[in-house]
Amino acid sequence: MSRNVSIKYALDWTTVIFYVILVVMGWLSIYGASYNFDQSDIFDWEQRAGKQFIWILTAFVLGGVLLLLDYKIYNYFAYIFYGAVLLLLIFTIFAPSSIVPDIKGSRSWIVLGPVSFQPAELAKIATALVLAKFMSAYNFKLKNWKDLLPLALLIFIPFSLIILQKETGSALIFVSFLLMFYREGMKGIVLLIGVYAIILFVVVIKFSIIPLQPEGATLGIILAMGIIVLTQFVYAFFYVKNRKEALIFLLGIIVIAGLSVLLHQWIPLNYNFVALFLVVISCIYWIFVELFNRFRKYWYIVSISLAAALFSFSSDYLFNKMLESHQQIRIKVLLNMEEDLIGAGYNVNQSKIAIGSGGLWGKGFLNGTQTKLKYVPEQDTDFIFCTVGEEHGFWGSTLVLVIFWLLLMRLLRIAERQREVFNRVYAYSVVSILFFHLMINIGMVLGLMPVIGIPLPFFSYGGSSLWGFTMLLFILLRLDASRLERLT
């Protein structure tokens, strides 16, 4: 029993309290969301709030059991656990539909009698553990691109298996490990490139509907090329501080652009290609600057520029030629290019209506009309935050976000106090996964992100996701508690 006592002292109770608060708030929100005029018993087992109550109790038991297990097993069994989860994912793809039914087009749920769960939830945990194991190896350093390769493979396998289950939302979460890599030494430029790519994509798509010329040039591509050239200028002027070269560059670009407009009077030019030509010319220019000044600093910007140009053109092409129209519409709705209140925009519009109608103080617990009358789709799972927004208003939803923020800050602190690399890597994985879920889910509900169906941690209805997040968190708490254990 001495071990139990030490857990009691070593356990980070602050995190546990935030966890319990979030779970209980989620439970009340589910009750609010599925509240009907006829039934009102929060413990009615036939209702979702009643069922969630059972999931919560079992999740608490699960958390307790995880705390009682030896912390070393996570390290020892990381590869085996990872392998087992991969097998389960493969099994899910090929299992008969009696066990893995088709739910809204995705085959990701294993149904065994009354219990159903998503192996993808386990895959996040297993991947976090296996990455921690791999990166805590004695001579592992995350410095070069080539160190990233095995890590990328460890992520890519479960990622692609989940994609094959058509569960794109869960798969996207695996991108979140980039944040952990960043902490572990990955170059910050990778994150910046990611943001850069998103900006280019949005610009290209958002302005692609504005045809500039009969030749087929679009404002989107020209703006994107402009951004690339501007980036080069900013890089040279402010970062490398080659002020003279940068100003000559800017002048040259303006002259060439002006000439091409003049030339257009006699020879019809496609401005898309004029813009591309400008990017290529500027890349050649920077290579010359590099050769003559013996700076080794332009190699990056040139390759990034070329990649960005390629990316812009292919985004334009992929979006307009390859994406199916319903996927196009989802993105267009998000970028405010189209209003489609019956189709793709319906969910988000209803979600905004529900939240917006909450006002400052909300309509009061169980008084929300939008969620109660089922205007918001998936109101107790993916769109559960709407209930909070409608019934508890601005202060209530802000409160929830603040508690999430406190939890994440607490976890960051826990992560940094680990002396074991394994523990720290795992802790950062937990932070990244929770943060990505939060960002994508709330972003979607608020109409800032595309509609990607993933649950809000601890809030959304369902045993599978609640158990998944509980495991994720309590494994971390167990690892954290071992810190003191070793001292005693």
The token duo for 429 is 């994985």
Q: Copy the structure tokens of residue 340.
A: 């489609």
With CB under 8 A as the contact rule, the residue among 394, 410, 420, 452 that binds other proteins is 394
Measured at the CA of 432, the angle between CA 51 and CA 167, to 5 degrees, comes to: 55
Q: Give the range of 51-59, 199-207, 228-236, 397-405 binding other proteins by CB under 8 A.
A: 397-405
Closer to other proteins by CB, 123 or 400: give it: 400
Tell me how far apart the alpha carbons of residues 124 and 73 are, in angstroms, rounded to a whole number.
17
Q: Does 409 bind other proteins (CB under 8 A)?
A: yes
Stretch that binds other proteins, among 55-63, 112-120, 201-209, 341-349 (CB under 8 A): 341-349
Question: What's the min distance (Å) between Cβ of 46 and other proteins?
Answer: 19
Residue with Cβ nearer other proteins (8 or 143): 143
Restricting to residues 70-99, name those near other proteins by CB under 8 A.
none
**Closest separation in Å from C-beta 79 to other proteins:** 25
Can you tell me which residue has the tokens 């769109």? 383
Q: What's the CA gap between 347 and 330, in Å, rounded?
A: 11
Q: Both tokens of residue 118?
A: 């998503």
Q: Considering beta carbons, is residue 37 or 266 the nearer one to other proteins?
A: 37
Instruction: Output the smallest distance, CB 243 to other proteins, in A.
Output: 28
Comparison of 99 and 373: residue with beta carbon closer to other proteins: 373
One residue of 404, 422, 467, 469 binding other proteins per CB under 8 A: 404
User: What would the x/- binding string for other proteins be over residues 16 to 55, using CB under 8 A?
Assistant: ---------------------x------------------
Place of tokens 């910046």: 192
Question: Which positions from 349 through 388 interact with other proteins, judged by CB under 8 A?
Answer: 349-350, 352-360, 369-370, 373-375
Size of the site for other proteins (CB under 8 A): 50
Calpha distance 73→420 (Å, rounded): 15
List, in order, residues 6 or more apart from 133 with CB less than 8 Å away. 75, 78, 79, 422
Residues 347, 353, 354, 360, CA torsion sign: positive
Please report how close the Cβ of residue 349 comes to other proteins at its closest, in angstroms. Answer: 8
From 3, 8, 141, 326, residue interacting with other proteins (rule: CB under 8 A): 141
**Residues with Cβ < 8 Å from 158, sequence gap 6 or more?**
85, 86, 89, 123, 126, 127, 174
**Could you tell me the CA-to-CA distances from 17 to 14, 21, 22, 429, 466 in Å, in that order?**
5, 6, 9, 21, 16
- Between CA 448 and CA 441 the distance in angstroms is 10
Tell me the C-alpha distance between 415 and 419, whole Å: 9
CA distance 199 to 317: 17
Nearer to other proteins, 304 or 440 (CB): 440
Stretch that binds other proteins, among 80-88, 91-99, 123-131, 437-445 (CB under 8 A): 437-445
- Report CA 235 to chain centroid distance, whole Å: 28
* Spatial separation of the C-alpha atoms in residues 302 and 430, rounded to whole Å: 36
In this complex, which beta carbon is closest to other proteins, that of residue 434 or of residue 466? 434
By C-beta, is 104 or 419 nearer to other proteins?
419
Q: Return the residue of 341, 343, 484, 488 that touches other proteins, per CB under 8 A.
A: 341
Q: Which stretch binds other proteins (CB under 8 A): 82-90, 262-270, 316-324, 391-399?
A: 391-399
**67 close to 7: Cβ distance less than 8 angstroms:** yes
Return d(Cα 358, Cα 368) in angstroms, integer. 8
Contact with other proteins (CB under 8 A) among 415, 451, 456, 477 = 415
Q: Which residue, 309 or 355, has its beta carbon nearer to other proteins? A: 355
CB 131 within 8 A of CB 425: yes
Nearest to other proteins of 289, 411 (CB atom) = 411
Q: Which stretch binds other proteins (CB under 8 A): 162-170, 211-219, 237-245, 390-398?
A: 390-398
Cβ proximity to other proteins, 234 vs 439, nearer residue: 439
The nearer residue to other proteins, 277 or 394, going by C-beta atoms, is: 394
* Residues comprising the chain, all counted: 488
- Distance, in Å, from the CA atom of 457 to the CA atom of 404, rounded to the nearest integer, reads 9
Enter the tokens of residue 180. Answer: 């952990």
Phi, psi of 77 (to 5 degrees): -95, 10
Q: How far is the CB of 362 from other proteins (least distance, A)?
A: 9
Q: Which is nearer to other proteins, 8 or 374 (CB)?
A: 374
* Near other proteins in 158-187, by CB under 8 A: 179, 182-185
Look up residue 96 and give its two tokens: 């008969």
* Min dist. Cβ of residue 353 to other proteins (A): 4
C-alpha 62/C-alpha 83 separation (Å) is 22
- What pairs with residue 287 in β-bridges? none
Applying CB under 8 A, which part among 200-208, 280-288, 297-305, 407-415 lies near other proteins? Answer: 407-415
Residue 133 contacts residue 423 (beta carbons within 8 Å):
no
To other proteins, the closest distance from the beta carbon of 279 in angstroms equals 29
Q: Where does this chain bind other proteins (CB under 8 A)?
A: 37, 141, 179, 182-185, 188, 341-342, 349-350, 352-360, 369-370, 373-375, 389-390, 393-394, 397-398, 401, 404-405, 408-409, 412, 415-416, 428, 431, 435, 438-439, 442-443, 446-448
